[in-house]
A and B are shown apart, each in its own frame.
Chain A
Amino acid sequence: MYAERVTGEKTVTVALWANARNCPETSKTNGYRHLLEHLMARGQNRDVDFKIESCGGFVTAKTTREAVQFSITVPKEHLGLALSTIFDILTPPAPSPERIRTEASIIREEGAIAEPSRFWSDAAWRMYGALDPGGDFDTIVGATREALLDTYKRQFSAESLVLAIAGDLSVDDVTAAAVKVLAVMPKREFKPVASVAPTNFAPTRGVGFGVAYTVQVHSYDTVQTAHALAAALSIGISVSNGFVFYTPSATRSLVTVGTITDAPALRKVIEHPNTAALFGRSKIAAKNWVNAQLVSGAHIAEFRGMLLCLRNDLRPEMLVDAVNAMTFDEFSRAVTKFQIPTSEVTP
């Protein structure tokens, strides 16, 4: 559990992260974790959003390759409501077959309107043979209540959870209140599953617009990750409508830089980089990126919570430290690694 006092914040955010190390997805379960996220986010009586929105708060949820997250932000006087809501969300779901079909349909719609950066990230991951954490519709729609309960037990056992809370409240008070929620979570009652790294590295051609370049990196705290992200961010702000997609990991991740409008300009930067100019911008760009992840109490709870969930010694500041110590030569090598486009332009 992590708690931070953020002076001056009107709201408090309670972010629950659940590490997926005990339930790696296979083609037979691809999307079950995402389906669970959808089914659980509304609470047992499907009244979570009414309660939270009526007091000026909001609930968000997401599923990444390595975790599932629920986040509740409320005016700070409603911390108790946020915590009891987290408890409600963590109740094992028992969906009807009809509910599963409806949510599967909603998840299919979600995939259809993904943002361009998400499209590029997925295309890049496919190159590395990884499954889409959004899931496969045919798999999701065939999920049974029993299979979901098994996934639930693996995903949300107590040792997989991190509760991160940030707001203008006493850390001691927040901790005491939160411990009550965590204490009732079930302990492990199954055999742990070793995470299996995908081995299919055959490039896959995507269909999209613009162009993107990707490099594979290791965990968040490695200098290789810091250098690649600094290079991508520096390149990304040098072109029109540039984007960088990166999700921190405790094992391996991808850093993707792309643009949806100005492919020639990005190609030029990648193939003939003005490395000195890029290096000049890289440190401030990386610092801005980390600052943007910590810009409010909600961001702090979500970002610090995610890193702690991935590995309990990961801290946002590690990346800034690594980038500050980065030499020009190290940066140059990081830039040259962005060589192979993830996908060609398809109008």
Chain B
Amino acid sequence: MIGGGHLAYFAIMALREMDPSGRIVVIEFTSEKVDMLKKTFPFTEAVLSSIEEVENYISKNHFLIDVLVVATDSDALNLRYAKHSIKNDVPIVIAILNNPLNEPIFARENVRYVINPYKTITSKIKEIVGKFDVNVVYEFSKIDGGIYAIKVENAKTLKRVRGFILKNDSPFFVLSADKRIRAGSLEDIQIGDVVYVPCHSREIKSFLRKMGG
């Protein structure tokens, strides 16, 4: 991990949970932060480094690094380190964004795994308020797709949704207006239901185009 701040906390806990006997090295740039890391995460190796030295560290140890998470408070620095790691064949490079607007910029630079911690805010608010056509509930990291919620507001949408599921042979489940979760047949979908469909992003984009969205 490069950066041991607020967002990094959750990444460190996730890594620890996945592999309790694995080795986690966290690099920070001030001795105060390194001391804090040692106290908060005694199972990690907290390393003090300078901004320039990190690239040398990655170059020297690239063959040992399985997963590199860049989580400093600067997206510019995160992008720099991510690109350097990819160039050094680190297998999994994950960037945690500070500014969601940088997501396409990271994608353009071939940083494959980018976590936008703010995406949940949009989809959660839409889910809570309940006013949407299509809501992105979850996006897969390794394939270009996700789970999408489609609100069936009227007969036209109902027809389109049934057509979409049939055409793509998609699995689905339904969250009905009376808060029941059902996996049933297409005929069971009614107006007022929210249909959850896992599919590729190109399929949902095609659906949105047909809906005029």
Chains A and B come from one and the same complex:
no
Residue ranges of B at the interface with A (Cβ–Cβ < 8 Å): none
Residue ranges of A at the interface with B (Cβ–Cβ < 8 Å): none
